[in-house]
Structure 1
Amino acid sequence: MMTQTEMTKPANKVKASTPSEREVRTERIFNAPRERVWKAFTDPKLLAQWWGRGNKLVIERMELVRGGHWRFVEHAPEGVHGFEGRYREVTPPERIVQSFEWDGMPGYVCIETMTLEDLGDGRTRVVSTTLFHTKEERDGMLNSGMTEGLEQGYAVLDRLLETMA
């Protein structure tokens, strides 16, 4: 049974926008302190529980330092999907800049900048801006279901953050 607070608490959803011809910006508020959200994004054991939208995720590499390599492989019902990149900047607990590439489209690399903003009330705003080489690459990513997949992963992250409390 839902409590009165749960019934009146608005659902957090991903807000997506295109601030420029080559960028996608997503924003989402989490009902958890910034340090807890940072840990869920940077601890491989926690990340593996939500990043793959609840599917099995194998973290092959996660060298969370400037120049470090990361590689994640999601085992989804529709197949296996590999993702990888290099960390350009890691500033705990507020910012990660990394390259991002999907095995399904080798050579199409984008740059993601994620910031975690402490809202001061136990909540955290996560903003990600992804820069693509061309407008066509940006539009292709948007049309691939990027926002829906992100929302699925963030819904799993919400549940994980609650158990970490």
Structure 2
Amino acid sequence: MSTKTGNEATVEPTGEQGIRVERVFDAPRDRVWDAYSRLEQLVQWWGRGNRVEVERWEFRVGGHWRFVEHADGEAHGFEGRFREVSPKERIVQSFEWDGMPAHVAIDTCTLTDLGDGRTKVVTESRFHTPEERDGMLQSGMGEGIEASYRALDALLARSS
């Protein structure tokens, strides 16, 4: 069962413990990679376009990151550690949301050059249990991802 969260992103459960998010961006892979890996760009889109406070950013294998998104008078913290960083191709990291503490997912984000100036981004998240996966799906994750991706579209359009 896949769910469209907006015009383009697809969010679907996979197996008993996974979630797959797929989206195509109208920008070359180098530009999309920069938006994911360069902090000054990442903070412009990552938190649905809201103000993001960076408490930690170590973009390297073993590095720790922690962001706090500020929206509607509330703060939402997220953090993780990088397991793999393969430039322009793949990022593997842990992901934990303060709203579900100690429920850590492993996210694998793959960027594929479609050869026509567009890039497909696929993020596969793996949770420890089906209940954790379902809790994340029910948290409004899909709408949050789509809002962030719209902010990423705007960033990519400005910098093309």
TM-score scaled to structure 1, two decimals?
A: 0.91
1:32 to 27, 36, 55: 27
Matched, 1:129 2:160: no
Matched, 1:85 2:80: yes
1:112 to 90, 99, 107: 107
Matched, 1:152 2:147: yes
Matches of 1:96 and 1:133, distance apart in 2: 19
Would the alpha carbon gap of residues 91 and 128 (structure 1) be closer, same or farther in structure 2, given more than 3 Å must change? same
Give the alignment of 1:9-88 within 5 angstroms: 12-88=7-83
Deviation of 1:104 (Å): 2.1
Deviation of 1:78 (Å): 4.7
Residue number in structure 1 paired with 2:156: 161
Residue number in structure 1 paired with 2:3: none
Matched, 1:98 2:58: no
Q: Which amino acid aligns with 2:115?
A: G
Bigger Rg, structure 1 or 2: 1
Deviation of 1:19 (Å): 2.0
Given that 1:12 and 1:30 are in contact with CA atoms closer than 8 Å, whether structure 2 keeps it comes out as no
* SS in structure 1 of the partner of residue 14 of structure 2: coil
Deviation of 1:16 (Å): 1.3
Gaps of 5+ in 1: 1-10
Question: Could you say what the CA RMSD is over the residues aligned between the two structures, in angstroms?
Answer: 1.1
Matches of 1:67 and 1:88, distance apart in 2: 6
Matches of 1:147 and 1:104, distance apart in 2: 15
Deviation of 1:64 (Å): 0.9
Matches of 2:137 and 2:129, distance apart in 1: 13
TM-score scaled to structure 2, two decimals?
A: 0.94
Percent identity, aligned pairs only? Answer: 59
Q: Which amino acid aligns with 2:80?
A: G
Gaps of 5+ in 2: 1-5
Q: Deviations over 1:52-88 (max 9, x none)?
A: 1111001221111110001111011151011000000
